[in-house]
Amino acid sequence: MASRLSRRAMRLSPSPTLALDAKTKDMQRQGIDVINFGIGEPDFDTPSHIKDAAVQAIQKGFTKYTPASGIPELKEAICKKLADDNGLQYEPSQIVVSVGAKQAIYNAVQVLCDEGDEVVVPAPYWVSYTEIVKLAGGEPVEVPGEESAGFKMTAAQFEAAVTSKTKILMLNSPNNPSGAVFDEAELRAIGEVCARRGIYIISDEVYEKLVFGGNKHVSIARANPSVKDLTVVVNGVSKTFAMTGWRIGYAAGPRDIIKAMGDLQGQVTSNPTSISQKASVAALLGPREPVEDMVREFGKRRDYVVRRFNSMPDVTCGEPGGAFYAFPNISGFFGRRAASGDVLKDSAALSGAILRDARVSVVPGSAFGMEGYVRVSYATSMANLEKGLDRIEAFLANLA
């Protein structure tokens, strides 16, 4: 008998970050005191001038369909942002506004990737890349970065993974979950391989503003201008302006690719919310102080979390250059036993036991294609970080 679900649906895994967040919130609703280090979502409120723009949009009746690919005013604000912040020149016809950066990535993969095409995905990678590639019929080719190289795939590693079927490179800097930030020279070298082999790049730059210390975000389309015409730059307002729930992301790139992405969107979702689009104009054109304040606070938390992990016996934690995640190596605990008697054989088992026994949610490294680590989001208050890290420390110390 034919299966009820399509083969596509049967191959699909649910998003582990969203599943863990739902489980954590469910436990909290039941009155269980769980600390959420699972989800990557700024804990700050959306700045008030952005909310005011949304209220005004509602009051003025800006509540109808907009062009599927976004309002001209927002596309112009995005062009200005890309020119001012990233040194990249685009016309509004090269911009598509989507329901979060996630939809922009999905659309880009759908319009670029044919059945059987290979897509290079440097690991560790954000959980949805590989599933999005599979939904398009593509084959994700994982290229693991070395911890000693800050988890960054080198141009040589990339080239070794390229075949005649390679169509796309999924690049993400600053990286979720490792926090790695590629510098200009590294991006130039990777871009050089793409230019020579005619490989398209989907460059997810959603954490661009969240960089610390001497780290600086550069777009690969700027670092190596010879790949600008092969690159779809993806970004959004969620992380920079604490606007995760508003669901506004965008892509900039060659006109034909962007047009196809807009056409696809017109058949699938229509426009992103009209009200959120107006709010995003205010975010992109408005004052940057709220962003700077958030980044300063994230920087303090990063230092604290990294210090705490490195002070725990058998844990090592590199210093992430950006985003708001720590990615400590916890492989030293594999094979030990939790209070329940369970042997902790991998990061999924360890994360499960941390949630059950220590009441802290963290995402296993295996969800990001890298075993031996867990991802800890420090996009939560310092008080929560102290409490959650105390619990993890006590939990690890008690493993037999």
Binding interface with ligand GLU (CB under 6 A) = 15, 17-18, 39-40, 102, 126-128, 176
Number of H helices and E strands in the chain, helices first, is: 14, 12
Reference 362, options 370, 371, 373; nearest CA is 373
CA distances from 109 to 102, 103, 177, 375, 391 (A): 11, 10, 21, 26, 40
Angle, helices 382-397 vs 289-310, to 10°: value is 20
User: What sign for the dihedral angle of Cα 359, 381, 329, 188?
Assistant: positive
Shortest reach from residue 40's CB to ligand GLU, in Å: 3
Return the ∠ at Cα 223 (arms to 219 and 226), rounded to 5°. 110
Residue 118 or 205: the one with the smaller Cβ distance to ligand GLU is 205
**Largest pairwise CA distance in the chain:** 63
Position of minimal CB gap to ligand GLU: 40
Shortest reach from residue 177's CB to ligand GLU, in Å: 7
Shortest reach from residue 291's CB to ligand GLU, in Å: 18
Residue 94 or 366: the one with the smaller Cβ distance to ligand GLU is 366
Residue 193 or 363: the one with the smaller Cβ distance to ligand GLU is 363
CA distances from 229 to 109, 334, 390 (A): 16, 46, 49
Reference 204, options 140, 108, 286; nearest CA is 108
Spatial strand order in the sheet of 363-364 = 325-326, 374-377, 363-364
Burial of 2 (0-12, 13-18, 19+ CB in 10 A): exposed
CA distance 262 to 260: 5
Cα 262 from chain centroid (whole Å): 22
Residue 281 or 374: the one with the smaller Cβ distance to ligand GLU is 374
Shortest reach from residue 165's CB to ligand GLU, in Å: 27
Residue 50 or 127: the one with the smaller Cβ distance to ligand GLU is 127
Residue 17 or 173: the one with the smaller Cβ distance to ligand GLU is 17
Shortest reach from residue 34's CB to ligand GLU, in Å: 16
Q: If phi over 0 gives left and psi between -120 and 50 gives alpha, with beta otherwise, what is residue 61?
A: left
Residue 315 or 363: the one with the smaller Cβ distance to ligand GLU is 363
Shortest reach from residue 208's CB to ligand GLU, in Å: 14
Residue 227 or 294: the one with the smaller Cβ distance to ligand GLU is 294
Tokens of 218: 């550069």
Burial of 313 (0-12, 13-18, 19+ CB in 10 A): exposed
Shortest reach from residue 138's CB to ligand GLU, in Å: 19
Shortest reach from residue 348's CB to ligand GLU, in Å: 16
Cα 300 from chain centroid (whole Å): 21
* Residue carrying structure tokens 């916890």: 330
Residue 176 or 351: the one with the smaller Cβ distance to ligand GLU is 176
* Residue carrying structure tokens 């303090």: 300
Residue 39 or 136: the one with the smaller Cβ distance to ligand GLU is 39
Shortest reach from residue 384's CB to ligand GLU, in Å: 16
Shortest reach from residue 380's CB to ligand GLU, in Å: 12
**399: enclosing H helix or E strand:** none
Residue 309 or 368: the one with the smaller Cβ distance to ligand GLU is 368
Shortest reach from residue 20's CB to ligand GLU, in Å: 9
CA distances from 389 to 35, 72, 80, 158, 283 (A): 10, 46, 41, 36, 33
